[in-house]
């Protein structure tokens, strides 16, 4: 199999454990080559290997785009939910073929209004979340409607819209719910809200989420996974599930619940034992 290797930190490609994995795979007639952009992916590539943490995996998902090439996350020691496998685990799975492919939903964000520092390379898709944040000291008012039905205005530092994959990322940090990746939902969560009576909201993944902002500042920030864009405060957004998904390589022994307990120490309590 032809395997493209991507990393945001090329020093990781010199790691002894990674080089050992490469040697074993090449000895078994797999062809590995490095990429930096989507244009570097050659015809016949069967897998993209993301080497690093979850941020690298998110960048790799952009390189793959709508091609349908699956992404395997190889982690060299950092916390990771998308990129969770050690080089040794990944190598054994490829050599034995004991892995499956899972579909992870992407969000597509349409922007009406001025993007102040974007260019023609703007990519509207996100795997984890899209968020809008205040661009200055003033509080941000965020108006949201779901399939045309308006919600009360959120007064906050910002608001995020997340996939179930992103429930353990930024959404978790702002008090959003944990959702298993197979959940077909969208999470809407305020960031540092100034309303005491607002909570994160979970809606079906068929929902179209429309967003507009109220701000004394002329600029608001928009974060899309690990990419940042500045918007005019009068811009409007439309967020929905994309028509294509990302294929992620999943090893047979992988367990989301196990990842929660081992990586986030979910439920760790001396009374529970076994942690």
Q: Where are the beta strands (DSSP E) in 97-198?
A: 99-104, 107-112, 125-126, 129-134, 140-146, 149-150, 154-163, 185-193
Q: What contacts 243, CB < 8 A, 6 or more positions away?
A: 108
**What is the three-class DSSP state of 83?**
coil
Strand partners, 188: 161, 201
Q: What contacts 121, CB < 8 A, 6 or more positions away?
A: none
Place of tokens 């943490």: 53
What CA–CA distance (Å, rounded) separates 90 from 34? Answer: 17
Active site residues: 54
What CA–CA distance (Å, rounded) separates 124 from 32? Answer: 29
N- to C-terminal Cα separation, the chain: 38
Q: Is 273 exposed, middle or buried (0-12, 13-18, 19+ CB in 10 A)?
A: exposed
Q: Helix axis angle, 87-96 relative to 16-27, nearest 10°? A: 10
What CA–CA distance (Å, rounded) separates 70 from 269? Answer: 37
**What is the three-class DSSP state of 158?**
strand
């Amino acid at each position: 199999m032809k395997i493209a290797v991507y990393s945001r930190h090329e020093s990781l490609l010199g790691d002894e454990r990674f080089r050992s994995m490469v040697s074993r795979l090449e000895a078994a007639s797999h062809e590995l080559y490095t990429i930096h952009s989507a244009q570097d992916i050659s015809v016949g590539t069967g897998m993209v290997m993301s080497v690093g943490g979850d941020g690298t995996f998110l960048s790799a998902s952009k390189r793959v785009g709508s091609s349908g090439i699956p992404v395997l996350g190889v982690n060299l020691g950092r916390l990771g939910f998308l990129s969770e496998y050690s080089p040794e685990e990944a190598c054994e799975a490829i050599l034995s073929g004991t892995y499956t492919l899972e579909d992870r939903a992407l969000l597509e964000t349409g922007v009406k209004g001025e993007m102040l520092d974007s260019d023609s390379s703007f990519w509207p898709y996100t795997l984890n979340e899209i968020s809008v944040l205040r661009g200055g000291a003033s509080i941000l008012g965020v108006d949201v409607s779901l399939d045309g039905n308006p919600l009360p205005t959120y007064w906050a530092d910002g608001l995020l819209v997340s996939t179930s994959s992103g429930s353990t990322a930024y959404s978790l940090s702002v008090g959003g719910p944990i959702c298993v990746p197979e959940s077909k939902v969208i999470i809407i969560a305020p960031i540092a809200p100034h309303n005491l009576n607002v909570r994160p909201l979970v809606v079906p993944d068929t929902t179209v989420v429309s967003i507009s902002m109220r701000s004394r500042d002329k600029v608001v920030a928009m974060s899309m996974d690990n990419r940042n864009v500045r918007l005019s405060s009068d811009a409007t957004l439309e967020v929905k599930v994309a028509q294509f998904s990302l294929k992620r390589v999943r090893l047979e022994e992988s367990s989301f619940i196990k990842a929660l307990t081992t990586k986030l120490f979910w439920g760790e309590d001396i009374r529970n034992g076994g942690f």
